[in-house]
Structure 1
Amino acid sequence: MELDIAAPAGELTRALVDVESVSGGEGPLADTVEKALAGLPGLTVDRDGDAVVARTRLGLPSRVVLAGHLDTVPVAENLPARRDGDRLYGCGTSDMKAGVAVMLRLAATVPLASLAQDLTWVFYDNEEVAAARNGLRRLAAARRDWLEGDLAILMEPTSGEIEAGCQGTLRVVAALPGRRAHSARSWLGDNAIHRAGDLLSRLAAYQPRAVVLDGCEYREGLSAVRISGGVAGNVIPDRCEVMINFRFAPDRDEAGALAHVREVLAGYELELSDSVGGAPPGLAAPAAAAFVAATGRAPRAKYGWTDVARFAELGIPALNYGPGDPNLAHTRDEYVELALVDEAERVLRAYLTAGA
């Protein structure tokens, strides 16, 4: 497939959306992106699996990394893309092919001589599935030098706002034991599901912390997200399990977050299911401060976890900034406002060429 990456960003978004790229099936789109970038002068283009990385080597004093994932969630009868007024509908429009389109158009249309800093473009695979398959995770482990930079801008959907850092997240499972019996003789048993009452009451009464970092307020949350128990309609259950999710501010590390959950739920047997740390705002970094100034937007905290955390682990300040609406991600009626796509291109173009 030929892709005109110099086309207007809205048209380019539509072309990208129409190339189905559900997680694990990004190969054809990665091929197309690689071919388009390889045809541009002054870029070094590398590939690892279905991740494509392009870099300038101008010897400028700083480097900015623009990153976005190529994959989408499964299609929900929302392909091909369709335009309705100023909106473009289709799978991946918001999350995050509009952001990818902006990245590609900038690569094609910003003259190298106008750049104020060197640039790296990272297009990666398998963001929407298990972390073990994440293409950026793979690059960080095996191709660390490809990701070097003074600032990373992850073009996740933010409705054109700057969302700094991200929350960490962990899940634990509380196992509540009981004693099985026939429900007709319930007094002979000990109902494990009933034992969940105190645990759920503690969670309902929990007062989450709010913490301000670099002017951004991160709100935490400790919530039961799943409960299971029972084996039959006439049996007193002897086991109940409650899964609990803790979304924590990036001033806590994973160990501290787990210790806090264990303290709140003292007396319960807790098994850690999964955990990943957050990312600090990083707004004090000169490159981040310059980007904030270029947008004229007041940064806000990122609620949720994103791959900015992977850059933070590498010591690279990272921000979320993209034209899509995060509330529309993964929905059947997903769409992007085309005006926001154009605005993101304008803002990034101005920032990347400022002072050149």
Structure 2
Amino acid sequence: MPGLDLTSSSADLTRAICDIASVSGDETTLADAIEAAVSSYDHLEIIRDGDTIVARTDLGRERRVVIAGHIDTVPINGNLPVENREVDGEAFLWGRGTVDMKAGVAVQLKLAAELVAPPVDITWMWYDHEEVDSSLNGLGRLARNRPDLFAGDFAILGEPSNGEVEGGCNGTLRATIRTDGVRAHSARSWIGENAIHKAAPILARLAEYHARTISVEGLDYREGLNAVRITGGVAGNVIPDACEVEVNYRFAPSRDAAAAERVVRDVFTGFDIEIVDVAEGARPGLDAPLAQEFVTAVGATPQPKYGWTDVARFSALGIPAVNYGPGDPHLAHHDEERVPLAQIEAVEQGLRAWLSGS
């Protein structure tokens, strides 16, 4: 089993973690290495659930913070092992997982080992299966199996945020919009009804739709309604009798799932609509005392998080949560995924300053 040296720099630790390939479903080797590394520190209680590792202090503090990060990645595409590269005079770690989100996990592991007596109790969570179907998500599984571990006053998810604080997140809904037709030979198309042609108004409504920007607790969340997949047809000489357009609606955290569904059904009135997946967003929660202390300590100007993240799971439990981690989220899953070394160091310094009370 590869070893992890938690006394090394966060950058070196990032590289070591990334080089243990952990595509979703294959996280066990990395989970084993993390468990072995944190188990040697007496101030931490270690709990394992599948390939999710929890390490927590129990110092009797009045407040508890939960800090989490996922350990899986999307599939590798020739971008491991990690390389050190310089671009325009700036040093980067280059490779799969550097942004999403092994650099954040590395910072968390290093601080978990070193912060023996923080002013708040801390529950560290490193979990599996974030990049795949939400039913497999290790954080969701842990919440079902050990809800007691989620007790806390504030939560931080180490998702890439360019070293800035991103509050809450948008929700996401996927719907399938269907049209029906009648099959016929394409040489006698007038005998049939073309289901793909009938989908034209669906695309027109999407093209005409003006997504809104909604202010929630002082942060502006941009919404989006887009076609993400279209299917139809059975052969090159057959008029199609069915067509499906999959639509993704990214909605501000001011809406719940029911309100988001109403928006989609209003836009596509008259069509057969099936809601196939929905996950509510998370309000920023930046009015919470610990959140305000955190933002002040790291010297950040909070921004909205447009993509859905697991902060929503904490928000649903009534725990205010933010995203804070190194890496440009635009480079997550990119074949040229890379993180600046300076950002890794800055996030470590920010978290350390807040969690040490200095």
Matched residue type, 1:298 = T
Deviations 1:110-153 (A, max 9, x none): 241xx121111100011111111100000111111112111110
Question: Equivalent of 2:128, from 125, 140, 144?
Answer: 125
Query: Residue 205 of structure 1 corresponds to which residue in structure 2?
Result: 208
CA 1:189–1:344 in 2, change beyond 3 Å: closer, same or farther?
same
Matched residue type, 1:159 = N
1:191 matches 2:182: no
Question: Equivalent of 1:310, from 309, 313, 316?
Answer: 313
Query: Residue 219 of structure 2 corresponds to which residue in structure 1?
Result: 216
Query: Residue 237 of structure 1 corresponds to which residue in structure 2?
Result: 240
Paired with 1:74 and 1:130, the residues of 2 have a C-alpha distance of 15
Query: Residue 45 of structure 2 corresponds to which residue in structure 1?
Result: 44
Shift of 1:40: 0.8
1:116 matches 2:119: yes
Consecutive unaligned residues of structure 1, counting only runs of 5 or more, are none
Matched residue type, 2:100 = D
Question: Equivalent of 2:327, from 302, 312, 324?
Answer: 324
Paired with 2:331 and 2:7, the residues of 1 have a C-alpha distance of 27
* SS class of match (1:65): strand
* SS class of match (2:281): coil
Matched residue type, 1:104 = L
CA 1:353–1:232 in 2, change beyond 3 Å: closer, same or farther?
same
TM-score (norm 2): 0.96
Query: Residue 262 of structure 1 corresponds to which residue in structure 2?
Result: 265
Deviations 1:219-247 (A, max 9, x none): 11111111111112222111111111111
Paired with 1:235 and 1:4, the residues of 2 have a C-alpha distance of 62
Question: Equivalent of 2:108, from 103, 123, 132?
Answer: 103
Paired with 1:274 and 1:5, the residues of 2 have a C-alpha distance of 39
Q: Percent identity?
A: 55
Paired with 1:244 and 1:72, the residues of 2 have a C-alpha distance of 25
Paired with 2:183 and 2:20, the residues of 1 have a C-alpha distance of 54
Question: Equivalent of 1:90, from 86, 95, 112?
Answer: 95
Matched residue type, 1:304 = G
* SS class of match (1:292): helix
Question: Equivalent of 1:341, from 322, 339, 344?
Answer: 344
Paired with 1:136 and 1:292, the residues of 2 have a C-alpha distance of 25
Deviations 1:50-98 (A, max 9, x none): 1110111111111111100111111111111111131111211111110
Deviations 1:312-349 (A, max 9, x none): 11111110010021111112221110100000000001
Matched residue type, 1:144 = P
Asked if 1 retains the 8 angstrom alpha-carbon contact of 2:43 and 2:116, the reply is no
User: Which deviates the most, 311-320 or 326-335?
Assistant: 326-335
1:290 matches 2:293: yes
Deviations 1:288-331 (A, max 9, x none): 11111112211111111100011111111110010021111112
Shift of 1:109: 2.1
Matched residue type, 1:56 = T
* SS class of match (2:195): coil
Query: Residue 351 of structure 1 corresponds to which residue in structure 2?
Result: 354
* SS class of match (1:157): coil
May I ask how many residue pairs the two structures share in their alignment?
A: 353
Paired with 1:312 and 1:335, the residues of 2 have a C-alpha distance of 29
Shift of 1:2: 2.4
Shift of 1:108: 1.9
Shift of 1:41: 2.2
TM-score (norm 1): 0.97
Question: Equivalent of 1:176, from 162, 176, 179?
Answer: 179
1:28 matches 2:29: yes
* SS class of match (1:194): helix
